[in-house]
């Protein structure tokens, strides 16, 4: 038998007999790799670990650490769940069952109405199938044969999917014992590779997402390669429920969303304190970094949006109105207004870079099903900035913006990773200009020695971008900051500066946000801190608790002293036991409590309690003021 050359990710090459399987190569490399292997990538194509390799190839073994490995693992688990459902409810027909973030789902058409009470039986049957260690076996069929096969099974949804494929398509199916499914694959070698499964929730889902079609029953589930990983994930899910910003937002009286304005949040007094602190911090920091603040109108003419490209590329997300018989739009973005501000007077190359920041209220049409607390709304405030610069200043400005974003996120305790998003299909401008812009973003990242991944085709329609994905305290990621390099808008708006040669030139522009959306950032912070905000952000920074009515007068004197020092304080002088008041303050997530009894009143002190540490003992009021002010000023 002839030999083939296998190239491995570390650059090494090895000779093997033709027809060797990826799992056999993995065993040659290391026992641990073979044990962790799930699927393989052969010449950039995802295949089963048991697919023979018949020619020279680049091989990568994929594990649960790789996204493609996770996808194959969970998609295989979805087939196991479908098989279990078929065994238990034999008249069930099958829709689709993809892997999704953190799990998978399958859509079922069944005479049985699924409830959470079915979870135990389905999970038990899944575990039985896993224990049987049934091989996943791939077979390819001509289109007509595949149609006849699934039609004979009564699988009308699979028949519909096949009918939508090209006439010359070769259809792949996967069998596992008594169950067969239409699937592109690849899958794990056998059901026994799946170790830990858990059904999570139920939902209705229209077939193919159209309300004109039948409503199917969707079961969401997840799978992990160990019980420990599954338990850690389930803990995170429960923790996320406790931290849900919608729940905490109501309990802490931060915001509300009413039927009178779906997707349009109302901020309550305590929520406004939090919001104003974030905005004040934003303004202070931007002054330090050389920005000027502007404000542009919320409603602008159709002609402007046509000029910017939003009318052609973003129209379905915009709200419209008529003024004096002319078309206007509520702004979905702040950028065109920023262009007009720059263009309002001539500029010299000596002025550049010009950095203009705006806390601009924008409105975007979102489908009602996509709305989610403060995370997905129809109106929000973007902390936009537009930087106009010389071509030779691009790299330095990109680095400066990245450093600014980094300083913000570190303050809030976030780690993050960066994605570079490249030219989308609906892009404005020529590919060469896009290539130049994309390469400059790469160079800036490399100059800072900052790791990044590439997200092909996900750039804005006017330029490539860097997206900053935060990781919160329980490991979830949120996309917030964005840096977008734009050669298109300055061209469309005919922006110029006078160069050293006394001739007009076109500036380059950066769009960027740090918070992204103030509303969404508040939602993220609420969940990140579980409502226990750091002192400088807390709507109530100190709660003054009286033990008896005798301390009420002194309590209000203490409150006045704290307020005079710029500390937000409230008095709880209700006729309740002190233990009850302490528990109430803890429920309200107040950072500090000042407990006042007769002794404290006589000595002009307070018994200080800290939310995270408990009793700190008696302190003089000067000590307390100094302690709290230091923590607020340094944003500890």
**DSSP string computed for 162-220:** HHTS-TTPEEEEEEETTEEEE------SBGGG--EEEEEEEEEEEGGG-TTSPEEEEEE
Is 528 one of the annotated active-site residues of the chain? no
**Tokens 């030219």 -> residue:** 423
Cβ atoms of 140 and 171 within 8 Å: the answer is yes
Cis peptide before 353 (omega within 30 of 0): yes
104 in the same domain as 40: no
The answer as to whether 610 is a domain residue is yes
**Domain count within the chain:** 4
The verdict on 281 and 210 lying in the same domain is: no
Report the distance separating Cα 582 and Cα 572, nearest Å: 10
Alpha-carbon dihedral 450, 453, 454, 459, rounded to 10 degrees: -70
**Strand 477-486 to 465-471 pairing:** antiparallel
Task: Please report, for residues 83, 542, 556, 578, the alpha-carbon distance to residue 547 in angstroms, rounded to integers and kept in the order given.
Answer: 64, 16, 14, 5
The predicted pLDDT at position 301 comes to 94
Residue 44 sits in a domain whose CATH number is 3.10.20.30
Q: For the chain, how long is the longest CA-to-CA vector?
A: 97
Asked if 138 and 10 sit in the same domain, the reply is no
Backbone angles phi, psi at 483, to 5 degrees: -120, 120
The pLDDT value recorded for residue 147 is 93
Looking at the fold, whether 626 and 611 belong to one and the same domain comes out as yes
Q: Which two tokens stand for residue 52?
A: 């023979």
Residue 583 covered by a domain: yes
Question: Which tokens in the block code for residue 465?
Answer: 């971008």
Q: Are 506 and 379 in contact (CB under 8 A)?
A: no
Residue 206, both tokens: 């229209």
The per-residue pLDDT for range 502-538, each reduced to its tens digit, is 999 999 999 999 999 999 999 999 999 999 999 999 9
Cβ–Cβ < 8 Å for 456, 425: no
For the question of residue 335 being annotated catalytic, the response is: yes
In a domain, 559, yes or no: yes
Q: Which candidate, 468, 615, 589, places its Cα nearest to that of 537?
A: 589
Residue from 382, 393, 488, 541 carrying the catalytic annotation = 382
User: Is the Cβ–Cβ distance between 330 and 315 less than 8 Å?
Assistant: no
> What is the rounded average pLDDT for all residues in the chain?
93
Q: Do 499 and 378 share a structural domain?
A: yes
For position 1, what pLDDT does the model report? Answer: 62
CA distance 263 to 30: 53
Contact in structure between 61 and 47 (CB atoms under 8 Å)? no
- Tell me how far CA of residue 455 lies from CA of 232, 432, 624, in angstroms: 28, 19, 50
Which is catalytic among the residues 384, 467, 472, 572? 384
Question: Nearest 10 degrees: CA dihedral of 41, 42, 47, 53?
Answer: -140
What is the enclosing helix (H) or strand (E) of 454?
A: strand 452-455
- Give the residue among 253, 247, 246, 292 at the shortest CA–CA distance from 274: 253
Does residue 315 lie in a domain region? no
Q: Could you tell me if 354 and 441 lie in one domain?
A: yes
CA 18 to CA 52: how far, in whole Å? 8
Q: What is the pLDDT of residue 32?
A: 92
Query: Residue 174: beta bridge partners?
Result: 138, 181
Residue 249 is assigned to a structural domain of this protein? no
Same domain, 117 and 236: yes
Report yes or no: 302 and 324 within 8 Å, Cβ to Cβ.
no
What is the per-residue pLDDT for 152?
Answer: 94
Q: Do the domain assignments include residue 321?
A: no
The residues, any chain, with a CB within 8 Å of residue 377's CB and separated by 6 or more, are 257, 263, 264, 265, 366, 371, 517, 519, 520
Residue 326 inside a domain? The answer is no
367 plus 384 within the same structural domain: yes
Q: Residues in the chain with pLDDT < 50?
A: none
364 counts as catalytic: yes
The structure's pTM equals: 0.81
Beta strand 379-389 with 354-363: parallel, antiparallel or unpaired? antiparallel
Helix, strand, or coil (residue 123):
helix
Long-range contact set of residues 105-108: C-beta below 8 Å, sequence gap at least 24:
105/78, 105/218, 105/219, 105/220, 105/221, 106/78, 106/81, 106/82, 106/218, 106/219, 107/205, 107/207, 107/216, 107/217, 107/218, 108/82, 108/216, 108/217, 108/218, 108/219
pLDDT at residue 465, as a whole number: 87
Q: Which of 176, 275, 310, 335 is catalytic?
A: 335
Query: What distances in angstroms separate CA 119 from CA 124, 125, 215, 439, one per listed residue?
Result: 8, 10, 20, 51
Partnered with residue 511 across adjacent β-strands are: 386, 484
Based on the residue annotation, tell me whether 386 is a catalytic residue of this protein.
yes
Of 504, 528, 552, which one is at a domain's C-terminal end?
Answer: 528
DSSP collapsed to 3 states, 592-627: EEEEECHHHHHHCEEEEEECCCEEEEEEEHHHHHHH
DSSP bridge pairs for 218: 107, 203
Residue 200: closest CA among 125, 113, 128, 106: 106
Same domain, 458 and 550: no
The answer to whether position 246 is within a domain reads no
Inter-helix orientation angle 394-411/431-447, to 10°? 50
372 is catalytic: no
Instruction: Say what the pLDDT of residue 449 is.
Output: 86
Q: Which of 243, 423, 511, 589 is labelled catalytic?
A: 511
Of 63, 85, 103, the residue at which a domain comes to its end is 63
Q: Which two tokens stand for residue 415?
A: 């780690």
CATH of the domain at 166: 3.30.980.10
Of the residues 218, 310, 465, 520, which is catalytic? 465
Q: In whole angstroms, what separates CA 118 from the centre of its chain? A: 32
Element (H, E) at 419: strand 415-421
What one-character-per-residue DSSP string does 49-62 give?
A: TT--B-S-EEEEEE
pLDDT at 435: 86
β-pairing, 569-572 vs 542-546, is parallel
- pLDDT at 191 (0 to 100): 97
Residue 556 known to be catalytic = no
Do 49 and 95 fall into the same domain?
no
Place of tokens 């307020």: 563
Catalytic residue among 376, 378, 386, 568: 386
Answer yes or no: do 261 and 135 share one domain. no
DSSP letters, 308-353, are HTHHHHSGGG-EEEEETTEEEEE-S-SHHHHHHHHHTS--BTTT-S
Same domain membership, residue 396 and residue 271: yes
Q: Which of 46, 198, 364, 423 is catalytic?
A: 364
Judged by DSSP in three states, 277 sits in: helix
Domain endpoint, select from 461, 496, 528: 528
Write the CATH number for 606: 3.40.50.800
Asked if residues 466 and 482 have their Cβ atoms less than 8 Å apart, the reply is yes
CATH code for position 406? 3.30.930.10
Q: Is 484 a catalytic residue?
A: no
Domain that holds residue 40: 3-63
């Amino acid at each position: 038998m002839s030999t083939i050359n296998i190239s491995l990710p570390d650059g090494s090459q090895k000779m093997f007999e033709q027809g060797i399987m990826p799992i056999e190569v993995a065993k040659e490399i290391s026992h641990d790799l073979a044990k962790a292997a799930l699927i393989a990538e052969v010449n950039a194509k995802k295949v089963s670990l048991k697919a023979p390799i018949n020619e020279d190839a680049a091989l990568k073994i994929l594990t649960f650490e790789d996204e493609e490995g996770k996808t194959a693992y969970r998609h295989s688990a979805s087939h196991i769940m479908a098989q279990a459902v078929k065994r238990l409810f034999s008249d069930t027909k099958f829709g689709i069952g993809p892997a999704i973030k953190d799990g998978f789902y399958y859509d079922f058409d069944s005479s049985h109405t699924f409830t959470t009470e079915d979870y135990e039986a389905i999970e038990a049957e899944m575990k039985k199938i896993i224990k049987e260690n049934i091989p996943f076996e791939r077979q390819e069929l001509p289109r007509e044969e595949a149609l006849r096969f699934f039609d004979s099974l009564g699988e009308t949804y699979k028949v519909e999917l096949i009918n939508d494929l090209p006439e010359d398509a070769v259809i792949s199916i996967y069998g596992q014992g008594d169950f067969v499914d239409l699937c592109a694959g690849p899958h794990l070698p056998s059901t026994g590779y799946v170790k830990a499964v858990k059904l999570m929730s139920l939902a209705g889902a229209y077939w193919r997402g159209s309300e004109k079609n039948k409503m199917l029953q969707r079961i969401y589930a997840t799978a992990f390669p160990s019980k420990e990983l599954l338990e850690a994930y389930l803990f995170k899910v429960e923790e996320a429920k406790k931290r849900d910003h919608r729940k905490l937002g109501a309990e802490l009286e931060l915001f509300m969303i009413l039927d009178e304005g779906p997707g349009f949040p109302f901020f309550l007094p305590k929520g406004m304190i939090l919001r104003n602190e974030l905005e004040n911090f934003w303004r202070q920091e931007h002054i330090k970094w050389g920005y000027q603040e502007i404000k542009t109108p919320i409603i602008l003419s159709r002609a402007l949006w046509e000029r910017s490209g939003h009318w052609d590329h973003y129209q379905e997300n915009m709200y419209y109105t008529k003024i004096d018989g002319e078309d206007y739009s509520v702004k979905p973005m702040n950028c065109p207004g920023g262009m007009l501000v720059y263009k309002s007077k001539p500029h010299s190359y000596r002025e550049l870079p010009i950095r203009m920041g705006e806390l601009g209220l924008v409105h975007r049409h979102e489908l009602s099903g996509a709305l989610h607390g403060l995370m997905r709304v129809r109106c929000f405030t973007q902390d936009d900035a537009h930087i106009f610069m010389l071509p030779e200043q691009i790299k330095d400005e990109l680095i400066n913006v990245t450093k600014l974003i980094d300083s913000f996120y570190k303050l809030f305790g976030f780690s993050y990773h960066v994605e570079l998003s490249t030219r989308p299909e609906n892009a404005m401008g020529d590919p060469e200009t896009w290539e130049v812009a994309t390469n400059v973003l790469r160079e800036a990242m490399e100059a800072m020695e900052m790791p990044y991944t590439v997200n092909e085709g996900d750039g804005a329609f006017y330029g490539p971008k860097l997206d900053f994905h935060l990781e919160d305290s329980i490991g979830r990621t949120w996309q917030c900051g964005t840096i977008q390099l734009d050669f298109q808008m300055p061209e469309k708006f005919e922006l110029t500066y006078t160069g050293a040669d006394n001739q007009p030139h076109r500036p380059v522009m950066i769009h960027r946000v740090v918070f992204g959306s103030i509303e969404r950032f508040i939602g993220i912070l609420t969940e990140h801190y579980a409502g226990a905000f750091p002192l400088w952000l807390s709507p109530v920074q100190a709660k003054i608790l009286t033990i008896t009515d005798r301390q009420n007068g002194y309590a209000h004197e203490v409150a006045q002293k704290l307020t005079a020092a710029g500390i937000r304080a409230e008095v709880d002088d209700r006729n309740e036991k002190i233990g009850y008041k302490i528990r109430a303050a803890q429920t309200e997530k107040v950072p500090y409590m000042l407990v006042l009894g007769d002794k404290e009143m006589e000595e002009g002190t307070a018994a200080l309690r800290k939310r995270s540490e408990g009793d700190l003992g008696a302190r003089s009021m000067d000590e307390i003021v100094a302690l709290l002010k230091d923590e607020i000023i340094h944003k500890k």
